[in-house]
Amino acid sequence: MKQRASRLALACAVMCLLYGSVTLAARTPVPSPPPVGGTSYILLDHHSKRVLAAENADHRIEPASLTKLMTAYIAFSALRDGNISLDDEIVISEKAWRMPGSRMFIEVNSRVSLEELLQGMIIQSGNDASVAIAEHVAGSEEAFVQMMNAAAQQLGLENTQFANSTGLGHSEQRTTAHDIARLASSLIREFPEHYGWYAVREYTYNGIRQHNRNRLLWRDSSVDGLKTGYTESAGYNLAASAQRDDTRLISVVTGTRNDEARASASYALLNYGFRFFQTHRLYSAGEELTRARVWRGARDEVALGLREDLYVTIPRGQYDDLDAYMDLESAVLAPIGPDRETGRVQVTLGGETIADKALFPLQEVGEGGFFRRVLDDVRLWFK
């Protein structure tokens, strides 16, 4: 049973959905994205997950220090689960102390808090801090890498394989721009309490002040992350995120020739996305979108809604041209509960489906009494 969503039902979420056909006003077409020199790139909307621009986004590349996004994700997960604490004092191993490349300059056998190490890894890109964190969370970096790869599978990062916690060059370490963007989005969504560290411009440890390598933090106040990466074989990588109004975009640029090239390309992509696209939250999780007739139940109807907020990202100026439809089961039989998919909501723009999400009951409905069930069986037979 397919229903067109009424304006009344959508008043709080989609105030401008139209019933009938409309004459579209002339609009400036969305141009091609700006040229990006490098191996690959992607521009992703954080909320709707829509890819706004991409080139070779699923081509496997070396992540370099973008690897540390997963190192942070695992550490944040352990903090959330109560397995570790920011106040933990960690004894620095010789392996961590000897790490080459970017460092926060921790001393062997010294005690450093986990909070300091996380800041040293996120702000200063410290390889020494990354290994110390890995050893604290999992006992060894090798065991920590197993956790990283398990998390990559759980997040659906199908083209990603980690071999260390730092991003230092390794023949078995690979990812894609698309996978990094999805990882970044998961990190932002799941750990807002820690995400603020990615916007910090400098950090001082052991009397040594170092600056965040993400140049965009100085260029635009809407940019609040995320991570740079470089090795000679990988080139210059940058995963960046910015929020303007209710729209958050994530860009990943890989394999550029130098630091300025990755910053300029990322900034051009972000500006392109904000200039020509806009994200709208159409429905909130748990909001009643429609009601379904329930047969053989203790109640005649049940409210239906979504488990997660529904966002769409569309070209600017086309919000009034959205349409929403509810496609419901023809006969919903009790008993039913919140896990039972009973229909779908589809959002279209210009005849193209841009969102398609399952609808679930917002309440449980048990079986009705004997006479209610018999009466409904008769009605269903005639129906």
pLDDT at 3: 57
pLDDT at 15: 37
Annotated catalytic residue 221: no
Contact 264, 276 (CB under 8 A): no
Cα–Cα distances (Å) from 108 to 95, 129, 258, in that order, read 9, 11, 33
pLDDT in tens, the chain (383 residues): 555 554 333 433 433 333 333 333 346 689 999 999 899 999 999 999 999 999 999 999 999 999 999 999 999 999 999 999 999 999 999 999 999 999 999 999 999 999 999 999 999 999 999 999 999 999 999 999 999 999 999 999 999 999 999 999 899 999 999 999 999 999 999 999 999 999 999 999 989 999 999 999 999 999 999 999 999 999 999 999 999 998 999 999 999 999 999 999 999 999 999 999 999 999 999 999 988 887 777 888 889 999 999 999 999 999 999 999 988 887 877 788 888 889 999 999 988 999 999 999 998 887 767 766 667 566 767 66
- The angle subtended at Cα 230 by Cα 226 and Cα 233, nearest 5°, is 145
Q: What are phi and psi of 373, to 5 degrees?
A: -65, -40
Cα–Cα distances (Å) from 54 to 35, 36, 59, 78, 170, in that order, read 11, 10, 11, 33, 26
Instruction: Report how far Cα 127 is from the mean position of its chain's Cα atoms.
Output: 25
| Cα dihedral 209→214→215→216 (10° resolution) | -130
Cα–Cα distances (Å) from 360 to 285, 309, 339, 345, 347, in that order, read 10, 13, 7, 10, 17
Annotated catalytic residue 125: yes
Q: Which of 65, 102, 185, 186 is catalytic?
A: 65
Contact partners, residue 71, CB within 8 Å, separation at least 6: 121, 130, 133, 134, 144, 148, 165, 166
Q: Which of 40, 48, 68, 165 is catalytic?
A: 68
Alpha carbons 87 and 79: distance in angstroms, whole number: 11
Alpha carbons 212 and 214: distance in angstroms, whole number: 6
Contact 64, 70 (CB under 8 A): no
pLDDT at 296: 75
Contact 51, 42 (CB under 8 A): yes
Contact partners, residue 330, CB within 8 Å, separation at least 6: 1
Cα–Cα distances (Å) from 249 to 34, 41, 226, in that order, read 16, 13, 11
Alpha carbons 277 and 318: distance in angstroms, whole number: 10
Q: Which of 48, 102, 125, 264 is catalytic?
A: 125
Annotated catalytic residue 2: no
pLDDT at 297: 74
- Tokens for 122? 């996120």
pLDDT per residue as tens digits for the range 270-299: 999 999 999 999 999 999 998 888 777 788
Contact partners, residue 372, CB within 8 Å, separation at least 6: 296, 297, 298
| Cα dihedral 377→379→382→383 (10° resolution) | -100
Instruction: Report how far Cα 66 is from the mean position of its chain's Cα atoms.
Output: 15
**Pairing relationship of beta strands 332-333 and 352-361 according to DSSP bridges:** unpaired
**Angle between helix 141-154 and helix 68-80 axes, rounded to 10 deg:** 90
Contact 39, 254 (CB under 8 A): yes
Closest CA to 322 of 360, 280, 359: 280
pTM summary value = 0.88
Instruction: Report all structural domains of the chain as residue ranges with CATH numbers, in order of start.
Output: 2-24+284-382 (2.60.410.10), 40-277 (3.40.710.10)
